[in-house]
């Protein structure tokens, strides 16, 4: 075993570049200096030297990652006995400010199928080693699976076992605002990845999702524009990293996180033909505190002129008379971004006709960009254009592609 000190960001495979770019934007705004160049441990994992301030920014604001970990120990042990011995020995030597007398811990194992023992055995071994190693230092840790102070995770990368702290205590993809779900909803972090891949610039562009469903792309676009802090999935998962002494000692750690770009006002439009899905999107946006224009109807009947009228009028369709937030000057271009039906996951026998209609409908938005995440290999042929970017990007268990077009 060896003591290590890494900040590990985990996201969707294929998202390394956008995760790194987002952290640069956040860190330079909040901290000043640019983060160091990360080590890429696969296509969806970034590893940085651990820094409490950078880690806090990642866990509080980073929208394209699913986990933010602090790697504490690593081991090449292939059996339980040497794994226990190494963790116990390193715990005796470790003086970093992540444990305290009386703290409760939980341990979870992920991606450990290559280890020569079962998941429960690994979890039990790591728990015992942490407790026994802390006891040798005069610190009493206890196991608290339901309400831990410290969330420990055990993972393998190649043949190396890493013992880490999960600084958020849960997946960052569960934002807490999505109280209503539509059919086959897009995960929140993946919506953020799409926005980064499409190079959405809220300072000068309209964001328009014509098939918005539960509104995830719209909401993420509005919140990313101002770099709003992440909302936890539940009150019990609110800022668990702040319980760790290393973060409690950080200047300003007691303050409620605030948007890093409060002056950036996104202009976002969401449309859906299904009234129940649109009601879910509106409820989610209210919970998130995101200001969005909502339209109800078939996108095929939406003209560019009508969309631009919505912008020019300065009125929101949701709530009536409230002014639409957005750039001070009228945007000259926009981004169409959506996650259309795939055919094999939704009961839509006319999905190829839908793709053709999308292609024809997009013709009127000359000068805009359009991005689509689709797990249907027939999409591009039916859409009728050659994508400028075609990137593999899994949507959960579905192998999908992100297509980006210049219209």
All structural domains of the chain, each given as residue ranges with its CATH number in brackets, are 2-166 (3.30.2130.30), 188-226+261-406 (3.40.50.150)
Rounded to 5 degrees, what are φ and ψ at 172?
Answer: -70, -15
The pLDDT score that the predictor gives to residue 276 is 92
Q: Give the up-direction half-sphere exposure of residue 137: CA atoms within 13 A in the CB hemisphere.
A: 21
The pLDDT score that the predictor gives to residue 255 is 66
What is the Cα–Cα distance from 295 to 50, expressed in whole angstroms? Answer: 45
For the entire predicted model, the pTM comes to 0.91
Tens digits of residue pLDDT in 71-82:
999 999 999 999
Read off the pLDDT of each residue in 218-236 and give the average, rounded to a whole number: 87
List CB contacts of 393: < 8 A, sequence separation 6 or more: 12, 13, 14, 15, 190, 193, 197, 373, 400, 401, 402
Closest CA to 163 of 102, 99, 243, 101: 99
Residue 26 has pLDDT above 80, yes or no: yes
Higher pLDDT, 191 or 347: 191
The pLDDT score that the predictor gives to residue 233 is 65
Region class of 86: left (phi > 0), else alpha (psi between -120 and 50), else beta: alpha
246-267: b (≥16 Cβ within 10 Å) or e: bbeebeeeeeebeebbeebbbb
Residue 23 has pLDDT above 70, yes or no: yes
Residue 94 has pLDDT above 70, yes or no: yes
Rounded to 5 degrees, what are φ and ψ at 198?
Answer: -80, -5
Split at pLDDT 50, 70, 90, the class of 323 is very low
Closest CA to 166 of 55, 292, 289, 62: 55
Split at pLDDT 50, 70, 90, the class of 317 is very low
Both tokens of 31, joined, read 């901290």
Residue 193 has pLDDT above 60, yes or no: yes
Closest CA to 281 of 208, 369, 180, 200: 180
Split at pLDDT 50, 70, 90, the class of 374 is very high
The pLDDT score that the predictor gives to residue 79 is 94
Cβ-in-10-Å burial (0-12, 13-18, 19+) of 353 comes to exposed
List CB contacts of 254: < 8 A, sequence separation 6 or more: none
Tens digits of residue pLDDT in 260-290:
999 888 999 999 999 999 999 999 999 999 9
Q: How far is CA 134 from CA 91, 104, 142, 159, in A?
A: 6, 12, 10, 26
List CB contacts of 13: < 8 A, sequence separation 6 or more: 42, 43, 44, 393, 394
What is the Cα–Cα distance from 170 to 19, expressed in whole angstroms? Answer: 18
Mean of the per-residue pLDDT values for the chain?
89
Q: Give the up-direction half-sphere exposure of residue 285: CA atoms within 13 A in the CB hemisphere.
A: 27
What is the Cα–Cα distance from 190 to 373, expressed in whole angstroms? Answer: 10
- State which H helix or E strand residue 217 sits in: helix 216-225
326-338: b (≥16 Cβ within 10 Å) or e: bbeeebeebbbbb
Tens digits of residue pLDDT in 136-190:
999 999 999 988 999 999 999 888 999 999 999 989 988 888 876 666 678 999 9
Q: How far is CA 308 from CA 199, 215, 338, in A?
A: 21, 20, 19
Q: With beta carbons less than 8 A apart as the criterion, state whether 262 and 289 touch.
A: no
The pLDDT score that the predictor gives to residue 330 is 57
| DSSP of 113-165 | TTSSS-HHHHHHHHHHHHHHHHHTTT---EE-SSS-SEEEEEEEETTEEEEEE
Alpha helices in 256-321 (DSSP H): 275-288, 304-313
What is the Cα–Cα distance from 159 to 13, expressed in whole angstroms? Answer: 19
């Amino acid at each position: 075993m060896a003591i290590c000190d890494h900040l590990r960001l985990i996201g969707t495979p294929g998202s390394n570049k956008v995760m790194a770019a987002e952290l640069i934007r956040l860190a330079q705004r909040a901290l000043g200096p640019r983060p160091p160049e990360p080590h890429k441990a696969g296509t969806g994992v970034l590893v940085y030297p651990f820094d409490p301030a950078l880690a806090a920014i990642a866990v509080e604001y980073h929208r394209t990652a699913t986990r933010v970990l602090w790697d504490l120990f690593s081991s090449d042990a292939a059996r339980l006995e040497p794994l226990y011995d190494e963790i116990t020995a390193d715990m005796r030597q470790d003086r970093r400010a992540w444990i305290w007398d009386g703290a409760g811990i939980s341990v979870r194992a992920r991606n450990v199928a290559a280890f020569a023992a079962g998941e429960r055995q690994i979890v039990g071994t790591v728990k015992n080693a942490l407790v026994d190693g802390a006891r040798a230092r005069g610190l009493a840790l206890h196991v608290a699976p339901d309400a831990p102070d410290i969330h420990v995770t055990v993972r393998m990368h190649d043949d190396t076992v890493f013992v880490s702290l999960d600084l958020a205590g849960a997946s960052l993809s569960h934002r807490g605002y999505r109280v209503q779900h539509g059919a086959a909803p897009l995960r929140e972090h993946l919506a953020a990845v799409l926005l980064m891949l499409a190079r959405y610039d809220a300072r000068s562009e309209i964001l328009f999702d014509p098939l918005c469903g539960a509104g995830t792309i719209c909401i993420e676009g509005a919140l990313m524009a101002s770099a709003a802090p992440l909302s936890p999935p539940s009150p019990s998962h609110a800022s668990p990293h702040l319980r760790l002494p290393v973060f409690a000692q950080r200047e300003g750690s007691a303050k409620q996180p605030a948007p890093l770009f409060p002056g950036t006002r996104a202009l976002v439009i969401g449309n859906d033909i299904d009234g129940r899905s649109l009601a879910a999107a509106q409820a989610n946006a209210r919970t998130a505190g995101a200001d969005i224009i909502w339209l109800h109807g078939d996108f095929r009947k939406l003209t560019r002129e009508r969309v631009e009228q919505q912008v020019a009028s300065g009125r929101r369709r949701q709530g009536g008379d409230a002014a639409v937030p957005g750039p001070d000057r009228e945007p000259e271009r926009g981004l169409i971004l959506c996650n259309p039906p795939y055919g094999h996951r939704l009961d839509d026998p006319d999905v190829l006709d839908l793709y053709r209609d999308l292609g024809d409908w997009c013709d009127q938005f000359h000068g805009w960009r359009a991005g689509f995440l689709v797990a249907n290999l027939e999409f591009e042929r039916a859409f009728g254009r050659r994508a400028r970017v075609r990137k593999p990007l899994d949507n959960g268990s579905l192998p999908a592609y992100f297509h980006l077009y210049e219209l």
